[in-house]
A and B are shown apart, each in its own frame.
Chain A
C-alpha cells in the first residue's frame, strides 16, 4: 500500500519536474521510488489496508505479483535513459505515466473488490493508450494507440458488464466468498469477466489488438506492455480465480482449455508466417499467454508459484528480446528479420543474449522457459488434460521454428560494420540473461524465495 503511495507521489513529482528546470533528477528519482516501493512491498506491512475497508490487500500471492512487477520495472527502467534523446518534457511525461501504470498494475494484482479491480485496470490501460501513441508524428504509432484505445475500452466495458452481472448475481462487489453462486447469472458473469481478462492478457480469440499494437508502439514501451501489463493482467486473473476457486463450476476448465487451444493454434500459426520480429514476438506472446493460462486452471494458493515462475521467466525473456529489437531498430531503422542479419558479427553481445532469451522462450532445458513450461504442462496433465498437453507440445515445435528463424538471421554471415551499445545497457542485458539461466538451472530458488 505504501508502495502505491510512494509511486503515485513520485510520478506526480516527476511530472512537475518536467516543467521545472531540475531535469537530471527524473530518472534517479523514479529509480529510487521503484526500489523504495519494492522494499516496502518486501517488508509488506499491511498497515493501510483496513483504512481502505479491505479493498486492497497485498498478501501472499498478490504480494509476490506486486514484487515481481516492481522487480521487472527496475529491470526495464535503465533503458528509459534512451528517452532523453526525445527531449525532457516527454521524458518526464513518459516516466510519470509509466510509474502511474505500475501503480495501476499493483492495484490490479492486489484487489479485493471489483471496484479496485476496475480502477486498476483503467489506470493501467489509459496509461498504455498514451504510451502506444507516444510517437505523435508516426502514423503507425497513432494507429496503434487508436486500436488499443478503442478495443481496450471496449474490453473494459465488457469486463464492467461482467462485473455488474456478478454484482447482480452475488449482491456484493467483493470477490471474497461470494453468495448465491449457483445461479446461472453468476456463471454467465464469470464467462464475461474471463473474456475481459483474456482480452487484457491477449488470449485468443481476444488477441487481435496485440500484434498491431506491438508493431506500432515505440519498442521501449512495448517492453512495458509485454511485461508489466501481462503480469498485472494475469495477476488480476489469478486473484479472481483464487478467490472463486472453491465455487468455480466445472465447465470453466473446459472453457480455459478451449482458450488455451485457440491461443496455441492462432498464435503459432500467425507467428509462423511473420517477417517483422515485433509481430513474431507479439503472436508468440499469445502462445505464451496460453501456456500461462495452463497455470491458472484449478489454481490454488499452493501452486500459484508455478504461475509466478512462468510470468518471471516470460517477463525476463521478453525484456531482453524487445530491448534488443529496440537497439536493432535504432541501427537499421526497421524490425524486419533482414535487419537482424549478421548481428552476431556486428554486435555479438546482443546476439548472444537475444539467442538465449529466445531459447528460453522456446523452452530449452537449463533456461527458465523450460522449467516454467514443465510446471504448467505437468499441472494440466495432472488434471487430465493430457491430450491438450500433447497438442501444446507439438505446436511448440512450430514456435521453435519461428524463434530459431530469428537466431538464424542473427547468425547469418552477412556481418557488416560493428556497432555497439552503451556498456551499461549490455551489462543489464547480460545480467538479465544470467538470471534467466540461473532460474533454469536452480528452479527451486524462486519458489523458496517466495516461501
Chain B
C-alpha cells in the first residue's frame, strides 16, 4: 500500500502523543464543563482523537484494519449522538435546563 513520504519523517510516537493530548483535552472537557451539549462534544473529541491514532497506526503498519475501525467508530458515534440527543431532549423537557450538575438527586 502507498505510504506518503511524510510518514517516514514523523514517527508513530508523535501521532500517539498528539492523539493522547487531544484525548486528554476532551477528557478534561468532560470533567469540567457543565453544559451537557459541550460535554457531549468533548466525548466526540475523545473519540476522534482515538480515530487519529487508529488511522496513523494503520498507515504505519500498513494494516487496513485500523481504518475500518475508524469507520466503525464514526458510525457508532453517530448512533450514540442520536440516542444521546434524544435523552437530552427528555432532560430539557423534564428540568428545562442543560446543566448536568442539576442532576444529582440520586446519590449517597
Bound state CA distance, A185 and B87, in angstroms? 37
B100 touches A173 (CB 8 A): no
A144 touches B106 (CB 8 A): yes
> Would you call A318 an interface residue if the criterion is a C-beta within 8 Å of the partner chain's C-beta atoms?
no
Bound state CA distance, A309 and B65, in angstroms? 35
Chain B residues in contact with chain A, CB under 8 A?
12, 16, 19, 23, 26-27, 30, 36, 39-40, 43, 46-47, 49-50, 53-54, 57-58, 60-61, 63, 65-66, 68-69, 72-73, 76, 79-80, 83-84, 86-88, 90-91, 93-95, 100, 103, 105-108
Pick the contact of B69 from A171, A173, A185 — CB < 8 Å?
A: A173
* CB-CB under 8 A for A115 and B68, given A126-B80, A146-B91, A164-B19: yes
Give the contacts of A104-160 with B (CB-CB under 8 A). 113-115, 118-119, 122, 126, 129-130, 133, 136-137, 139-140, 142-147, 149-150, 153-154, 157, 160
Question: Shortest 5 CB-CB distances between A and B: which pairs?
Answer: A212-B106, A157-B46, A164-B53, A171-B61, A173-B65
> Would you call A440 an interface residue if the criterion is a C-beta within 8 Å of the partner chain's C-beta atoms?
no
B43 touches A153 (CB 8 A): yes
> Would you call A167 an interface residue if the criterion is a C-beta within 8 Å of the partner chain's C-beta atoms?
yes
> Would you call A187 an interface residue if the criterion is a C-beta within 8 Å of the partner chain's C-beta atoms?
no
B63 touches A172 (CB 8 A): yes
Give the contacts of A274-303 with B (CB-CB under 8 A). 274, 279
A146 touches B54 (CB 8 A): no
> Would you call A215 an interface residue if the criterion is a C-beta within 8 Å of the partner chain's C-beta atoms?
yes
Closest to A157 in B: B46
B69 touches A150 (CB 8 A): no
What 0/1 readout, one digit per residue, does chain A (203-244) give for beta carbons within 8 Å of chain B?
000000001100110000000000000000000000000000
B53 touches A139 (CB 8 A): no
Pick the contact of B54 from A142, A144, A167 — CB < 8 Å?
A: A167
Closest to B66 in A: A167
Bound state CA distance, A163 and B58, in angstroms? 13
Pick the contact of B107 from A136, A142, A212 — CB < 8 Å?
A: A212
Contact sample, A vs B, 21 pairs, CB 8 Å cutoff: A115-B72, A119-B72, A126-B83, A136-B90, A139-B105, A142-B103, A143-B103, A147-B103, A150-B100, A153-B80, A157-B43, A160-B47, A160-B50, A161-B23, A161-B46, A167-B53, A168-B12, A172-B61, A215-B106, A216-B106, A279-B108
CB distance from A174 to the nearest CB of B (A): 8
A154 touches B30 (CB 8 A): yes
| CB-defined contacts of B90 to chain A, threshold 8 Å | 133, 136, 142, 145
Closest to A135 in B: B90
A160 touches B73 (CB 8 A): yes
CB distance from A304 to the nearest CB of B (A): 27
B91 touches A142 (CB 8 A): yes
Closest to B69 in A: A115
How many A-B pairs fall under 8 Å by CB? 122
CB distance from B36 to the nearest CB of A (A): 7
Bound state CA distance, A146 and B79, in angstroms? 16
Bound state CA distance, A150 and B39, in angstroms? 8
Closest to A125 in B: B80
Which secondary structure dominates chain A's binding surface? helix
| CB-defined contacts of B80 to chain A, threshold 8 Å | 122, 126, 153
A149 touches B87 (CB 8 A): yes
A157 touches B26 (CB 8 A): yes
| CB-defined contacts of A165 to chain B, threshold 8 Å | 16, 53
| CB-defined contacts of A119 to chain B, threshold 8 Å | 72, 76
CB distance from A20 to the nearest CB of B (A): 23
Pick the contact of B87 from A145, A163, A174 — CB < 8 Å?
A: A145
| CB-defined contacts of A279 to chain B, threshold 8 Å | 108
| CB-defined contacts of B88 to chain A, threshold 8 Å | 146
Q: Which of A146, A165, A279 has the most chain B CB atoms closer than 10 A to its own CB?
A: A146
| CB-defined contacts of A146 to chain B, threshold 8 Å | 36, 87-88, 91, 100, 103
Bound state CA distance, A153 and B84, in angstroms? 10
Closest to A150 in B: B39
B50 touches A143 (CB 8 A): no
B65 touches A126 (CB 8 A): no
Bound state CA distance, A147 and B105, in angstroms? 11
* CB-CB under 8 A for A142 and B72, given A167-B54, A167-B57, A215-B106: no
CB distance from A15 to the nearest CB of B (A): 15
| CB-defined contacts of B54 to chain A, threshold 8 Å | 164, 167
A149 touches B76 (CB 8 A): no
Bound state CA distance, A133 and B103, in angstroms? 14
| CB-defined contacts of A115 to chain B, threshold 8 Å | 65, 68-69, 72
Bound state CA distance, A114 and B90, in angstroms? 33
A139 touches B83 (CB 8 A): no
CB distance from B55 to the nearest CB of A (A): 10
CB distance from A234 to the nearest CB of B (A): 22
CB distance from A103 to the nearest CB of B (A): 14
| CB-defined contacts of B93 to chain A, threshold 8 Å | 136
Pick the contact of A167 from B69, B72, B76, B79 — CB < 8 Å?
A: B69
CB distance from B48 to the nearest CB of A (A): 10
